[in-house]
């Protein structure tokens, strides 16, 4: 790998654009694959405001698909949504060379195996973004808070390239947590996300305050989180029981907040329901863990998202 | 009681109007209390089309409140919705004389005790309508199918007045089932309604077909129904386990159907959530029955119905 590693960001939504900008600041040669925002970014680059300073940058190249990329990058950073209708493997394949390290910055549980099976000879870094970042217009992104990236090799361990990737991110200005048990970190994030995100959708795009304020709302959210913790434990990742109470207290202290899935729902965008909750349920079934509250949320969400006959009375 | 018993219908929505018409055909002197449709009905009476013939009738009197009724009726037929914001006891009180029989034609579980406690010296008939009837315009009602009224004295038994009430309904043209265990009949109806109605709301006003067609939809609806059956059993009313499968098969055979609560939700009308499901949950807690699926539906429904901050991003 050269002094200035090449990076291709695939799925440059707000999160892809943000970490692309960080890697650009770290001296990488950052190109991007974009569909709907191709014109805007090809013309003007990304405009990214941040408390870290002006992160705006012009990518080394802007492509409409990975197939246009002439040489495989050192790092293929994937920020695609994990939703039905997006074939991540096909989207990635043209840009994966023998020495390409794949970095998945995506939400959900059990989202790596499909990629690991498709590219068995490539290093796979699984990453979780703790960042508040929004796309406000084509090519325009606002970074509001946080930025830490938590990652490690999938399914476990940390090697030199992964350490080097962490070095790049830190020199670009964000915190990192490099972990040799990244699946555990996925479960940790899932305890909140898997409970709050899908439930907020079924609750009509509800914010955190609304959800905790209905009678028994807090006990209900705790029941969802405890079921996720039980599945995580059966999957080999124990978390302390008090984690739920601590997490709920932190949520209480924050201002009312609509999570990304609630916003996706209210804006009619595809939801990462399977990555965030469906995969938890499937693991629960495989591991014989009873998850009635989660199953109810999951089934109601699919009923909600199903097409229905028009209302005629 | 005279040869031509006097009836006051309170809350003359579609169901109140329909049974008022039946009792009118049976020779009763039927008056009604109406709010929003007072003008239309006072002017033109009810126009009710039905496969039983033209049930249109002009009430003996039309009142804006029960307080306007000069003498208490023999039967006070209550078709008020059981929702927050309607004080049934206050609405009824002016029309309840010492010899008035109260007839509740309302949905839900455990909706009688409040009335029984407020009027401890009056006969209380609890009734369940199995009827497909719609209000299509002020004072205009279409009776589509069925019509059977299932009823008995609350909390149990059947006395002569209740039998006589059944005689009136039958002579008016509808089937009756007079039962000495009416609470059991409420549970029977609740097994379907308590499962399908609230879940259909949280599923976005879903019809039966949509609900049963998502993956595991049928198993999920069965789980809800089985939890209701478990609460009913703890409350002293056993039902055979195969009831759930039979009921789901019948639902499968019907055309896609939006239940009344789904329609109320989609039209922004108040929902009988507490009568239909909240009271089941409260009984389950009192009787130590575990109802995680029902609790999830109930909590999500309250989150859905709660007022939320506007969407600004």
Torsion from C-alpha of B200, B201, B205, B206, nearest 10 degrees = -20
**B256 and B176 belong to one structural domain:** no
Q: How far is B2 from chain A (nearest CA, A)?
A: 41
CA distance B75 to B16: 13
**Cα separation of A184 and B291, whole Å?**
31
Contacts of B302 in chain A (CB under 8 A): 214-215, 217
Question: CB distance B263–A213 less than 8 Å?
Answer: no
Residue A173 lies in a domain: yes
Do residues A134 and A11 lie in contact, with contact meaning Cβ atoms separated by under 8 Å?
no
- The domain tally of chain A equals 2
Q: pLDDT value at position A312?
A: 75
Q: What burial class does residue B118 get, using C-beta atoms within 10 Å of its C-beta: 0-12 exposed, 13-18 middle, 19+ buried?
A: middle
Same domain? B175 vs B196: no
pLDDT score for B1: 57
Instruction: Indicate yes or no: CB of B303 within 8 angstroms of CB of A205.
Output: no
Residues of chain A neighbouring B223 (CB-CB closer than 8 A):
292, 295
First to last CA, chain B: 65
Contact B199 A292 (CB under 8 A): no
Q: Using one digit for the tens of pLDDT, what is the confidence trace for B125-172?
A: 999 999 999 899 999 999 998 999 999 999 999 999 999 999 999 999
Helix or strand (DSSP H, E) at A305: helix A292-305
Judge whether A313 lies within some domain.
Answer: no
Can you spell out the DSSP letters for B142-187? EEEEEEEEEEEESSS---HHHHHHHHHHHHHT--EEE-S-HHHHHH
Q: B220 and A304: CB-CB below 8 Å? A: no
Q: A156 with A232, same domain?
A: no
CATH code (residue A39) = 3.40.50.720
Task: Identify the H or E element spanning B126.
Answer: strand B124-137
Task: Give the angle A57-A63-A69 at the CA atoms, nearest 5°.
Answer: 110
* Regions of chain B where pLDDT drops below 50: none
Among B125, B148, B180, where does a domain finish? B180
**Whole-angstrom Cα distance, residue A209 to residue A135?**
24
pLDDT reading at A313 higher than 80:
no
Q: Which residues of B touch A256 (CB under 8 A)?
A: 309
Of B180, B195, B225, which residue is a domain's last? B180
The single residue listed with the structure tokens 């938890």 is A280
Q: Could you tell me if B171 and B194 lie in one domain?
A: no
Distances (CA, A) of A89 to A38, A92, A124: 21, 5, 13
Last residue of a domain, one of A180, A211, A241: A180
The reply to whether B259 and B202 lie within a common domain is: yes
User: What does the DSSP 8-state code read for residue A126?
Assistant: E
pLDDT at A297 over 60: yes
Indicate the helix (H) or strand (E) that contains B130.
strand B124-137
Distance CA B176, CA B282 (A): 30
**In this structure, are A250 and A145 located in the same domain?**
no
pTM above 0.80, yes or no: yes
Query: Rounded to an integer, what distance in angstroms lies between the CA atom of residue B252 and that of residue A171?
Result: 61
**Sequence-separated contacts (24+) of B126-130 with Cβ below 8 Å:** B126/B151, B126/B152, B126/B153, B126/B154, B126/B182, B126/B183, B126/B186, B127/B103, B127/B151, B127/B182, B128/B182, B128/B185, B128/B186, B128/B189, B129/B15, B129/B19, B129/B105
Cβ atoms B186, B105 nearer than 8 A = no
Q: Binning pLDDT at 50, 70 and 90, where does residue A12 land?
A: confident
In a domain, B55, yes or no: yes
Same domain, A273 and A142: no
What number is the average pLDDT over the span A257-276?
A: 95
Note whether residue A264 is domain-resident.
yes
Distance from CA of A253 to the nearest CA of B (A): 17
In terms of CA atoms, which chain B residue is nearest residue A201?
B304
Residue-averaged pLDDT of chain A? 96
Q: Please report the pLDDT score of residue B12 as a whole number.
A: 74
Do B51 and B134 share a domain, yes or no? yes
Q: Which chain B residues have a beta carbon less than 8 Å from that of A311? A: 205, 258, 263, 266
Q: What is the CA radius of gyration of chain B?
A: 20
Residue B231: closest CA among B198, B181, B187, B199: B187
State whether A134 and A230 are in the same domain.
Answer: no
Cα–Cα distance for residue pair A184/A188, rounded to 1 Å? 6
pLDDT for the residue numbered A147: 93
Say yes or no: B72 and B153 in one domain: yes
* Residues of B at the A interface, defined by Cβ within 8 angstroms: 134, 199, 202-207, 209-211, 213-217, 220, 223, 256, 258, 263, 266, 292-293, 295-297, 299-300, 302-304, 306-309, 311, 313
- Between strands A75-78 and B29-33, the pairing is unpaired
Look-up: residue for tokens 């003996």?
A: B60
d(CA B84, CA B117): 18
Q: What is the DSSP letter of A100?
A: P
Same structural domain for residues B271 and B297?
A: yes
Q: Residue B244 belongs to a domain with what CATH number? A: 1.10.1040.10
Rounded-to-integer distance, Cα B143 and Cα B49, Å: 6
Dist CA A40 CA B16 (whole Å): 62
Residue B302 domain-assigned (yes or no):
yes
Residue B115, domain extent:
6-180
The pLDDT of A17-28, averaged and rounded, is 97
For residue A312, is it within any domain?
Answer: no
- Secondary structure letter of residue A6 according to DSSP: E
Asked if B304 and A203 come within 8 Å (Cβ–Cβ), the reply is yes
- Cα A234 to chain center, whole Å? 23
Select from B134, B199, B292 the Cβ nearest to the Cβ of A313.
B134
Q: Looking at the structure, do residues B198 and B262 belong to the same domain, yes or no? A: yes
Indicate whether B312 belongs to any domain: no
Instruction: Return all residues near A247 (Cβ < 8 A) that are at least 6 apart.
Output: A191, A192, A225
Domain contains B20: yes
């Amino acid at each position: 790998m050269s002094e200035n590693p090449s990076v291709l960001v695939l799925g440059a939504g707000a999160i892809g654009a943000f970490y692309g900008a960080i890697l650009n600041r770290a001296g990488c040669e950052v190109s991007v694959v974009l569909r709907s925002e191709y014109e805007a970014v090809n013309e003007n680059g990304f405009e990214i405001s941040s408390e870290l300073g002006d992160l705006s940058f012009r990518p080394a190249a802007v492509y409409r698909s990975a197939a246009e990329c002439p040489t495989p990058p050192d790092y293929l950073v994937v920020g695609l949504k994990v939703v039905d209708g997006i074939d991540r493997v096909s989207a990635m394949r043209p840009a994966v060379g023998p020495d390409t390290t794949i970095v998945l910055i995506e939400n959900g549980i059990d989202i790596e195996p499909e990629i690991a099976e498709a590219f068995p000879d490539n290093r796979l870094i699984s990453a979780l973004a703790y960042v508040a970042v929004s796309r406000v217009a084509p090519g325009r992104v606002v970074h509001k808070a946080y930025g830490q990236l938590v990652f490690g090799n999938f399914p476990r361990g940390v090697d030199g390239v992964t350490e080097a990737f962490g070095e790049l991110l830190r020199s670009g200005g964000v915190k990192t947590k490099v972990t040799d048990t990244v699946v555990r970190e996925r479960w940790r994030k899932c305890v909140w996300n898997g409970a709050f995100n899908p439930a907020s959708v079924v609750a009509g795009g509800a914010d955190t305050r609304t959800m905790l304020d209905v009678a028994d709302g807090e006990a209900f959210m705790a029941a969802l989180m405890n079921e996720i913790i039980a599945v995580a434990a059966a999957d080999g990742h124990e978390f302390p029981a008090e984690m739920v109470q601590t997490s709920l207290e932190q949520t209480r202290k924050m201002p009312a907040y609509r999570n990304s899935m609630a916003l996706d729902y209210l804006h009619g965008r595809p939801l990462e329901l399977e990555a965030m909750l469906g995969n938890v349920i499937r693991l629960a079934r495989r591991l014989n863990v009873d998850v009635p509250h989660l199953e109810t949320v999951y089934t109601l969400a699919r009923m909600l998202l199903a097409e229905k006959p028009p209302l005629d009375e």
